[in-house]
């Protein structure tokens, strides 16, 4: 099981689990909260079949990575990503983030630049800035996030139930696009996440990415569900074309937050075209 050290806590290593498969132009997949790298299965399969090397990893606190009580901020998340990219010596990589993972992509490019990056894709985007402030009236009231943290403290399993129902718009899309079994699989992954990370990541959601966005100098694909209840389309993705120099916005009509699972045909078509996937010639 491949792992790399990205820091320490009380002299114990903090390790990130990653998967690295296939060959060809590299694509690095960064998962959303509260899932893990396996959540990309419907995209990884298509990318591998079309001749790409596909790397995914579990964010600290989630999946098979270490579960420390430190480092749940986007500067640290981006540094973890940088360590992985350098460890694998990736060049001309396409970074693909979903939900929280779009924050890693944005902060990485804003902090470290695009020397190793060819393109970037944001699915269910968290930028530019979720919190409502005087200069960000499109944001969400801070009390909403305090309520989320209180719900996690009270009973994080009950919170995950409500969260995942809205993550998949279960009332509208089950069972055709999200089965009970797939929902339960997501719940099981969420329940296995670090209790500390589950709580601490909520504050990270309020990161202001507006200073990072003008620094992005690679082509960017944004794919976002129009009925996203977790990161509403108008407050997030719809604002990005004015803030990123080279961006293509693909709304997924009726899509929930996790469009990568519920609408794989639409997501994969846009992603494969964007990364320039080539169908292998017949033998």
DSSP state of 241: G
Domain assignment present for residue 282? The answer is no
Domain assignment present for residue 156? The answer is yes
CA atoms 72, 76, 82, 88: torsion sign: negative
Active-site option among 17, 31, 224, 257: 257
The answer to whether 238 and 265 have CB atoms below 8 angstroms apart is no
> Is 66 a catalytic site residue?
no
**Residue range of the domain that includes 133:** 3-275
pLDDT for the residue 1: 76
* Tokens encoding 142: 């801070």
Active-site option among 58, 186, 228, 263: 228
pLDDT for the residue 9: 97
Active-site option among 65, 99, 186, 194: 99
Domain assignment present for residue 122? The answer is yes
Given the structure tokens 């504050």, which residue do they identify?
Answer: 203
Given the structure tokens 């969400």, which residue do they identify?
Answer: 140
Task: Provide the domain count of the chain.
Answer: 1
Domain assignment present for residue 280? The answer is no
The answer to whether 183 and 164 have CB atoms below 8 angstroms apart is yes
Domain assignment present for residue 31? The answer is yes
Domain assignment present for residue 34? The answer is yes
Domain assignment present for residue 166? The answer is yes
**Rounded to whole angstroms, how far apart are CA atoms 267 and 259?**
7
> Is 99 a catalytic site residue?
yes
CATH of the domain at 77: 3.40.50.1820
> Is 155 a catalytic site residue?
no
pLDDT for the residue 41: 97
**What are the per-10-residue average pLDDT scores of the chain (283 residues)?**
95 97 97 98 97 98 98 98 98 98 98 98 98 94 95 98 98 98 98 98 98 98 98 97 97 98 97 76 39
Given the structure tokens 């979903």, which residue do they identify?
Answer: 98
pLDDT for the residue 105: 98
């Amino acid at each position: 099981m491949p792992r790399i050290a990205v820091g320490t806590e009380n002299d114990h290593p903090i390790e990130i689990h990653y998967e690295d498969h296939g060959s060809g132009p590299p694509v690095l997949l960064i998962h959303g909260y509260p899932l893990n790298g396996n959540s990309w299965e419907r995209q990884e399969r298509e990318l591998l079949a079309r001749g790409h090397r596909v790397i995914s990893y579990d964010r600290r606190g989630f999946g098979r990575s270490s579960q420390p009580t430190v480092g749940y901020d986007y500067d640290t998340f981006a540094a973890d990503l940088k360590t992985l990219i350098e460890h694998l010596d990736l060049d001309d990589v396409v970074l693909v983030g979903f939900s929280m993972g779009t924050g890693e992509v944005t902060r990485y490019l804003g902090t470290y630049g695009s020397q190793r990056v060819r393109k970037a894709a944001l699915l269910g985007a968290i930028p530019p800035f979720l919190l409502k402030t005087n200069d960000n009236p499109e944001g969400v009231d801070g009390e909403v996030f305090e309520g989320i943290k209180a719900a996690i403290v009270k009973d994080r399993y009950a919170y995950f139930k409500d969260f995942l129902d809205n993550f998949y718009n279960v009332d509208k899309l089950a069972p055709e696009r999200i089965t009970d079994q797939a929902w339960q699989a997501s719940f099981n992954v969420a329940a296995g996440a670090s209790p500390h990370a589950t709580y601490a990541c909520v504050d990270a959601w309020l990161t202001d990415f507006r200073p990072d966005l003008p620094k992005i100098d690679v082509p960017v694909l944004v794919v976002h569900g129009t009925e996203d209840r977790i990161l509403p389309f108008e407050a997030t993705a719809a604002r990005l074309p004015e803030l990123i120099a080279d961006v293509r916005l693909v709304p997924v009509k009726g899509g929930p937050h996790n469009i990568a699972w519920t609408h794989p045909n639409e997501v994969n078509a846009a992603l494969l075209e964007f990364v320039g996937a080539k169908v292998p010639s017949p033998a």
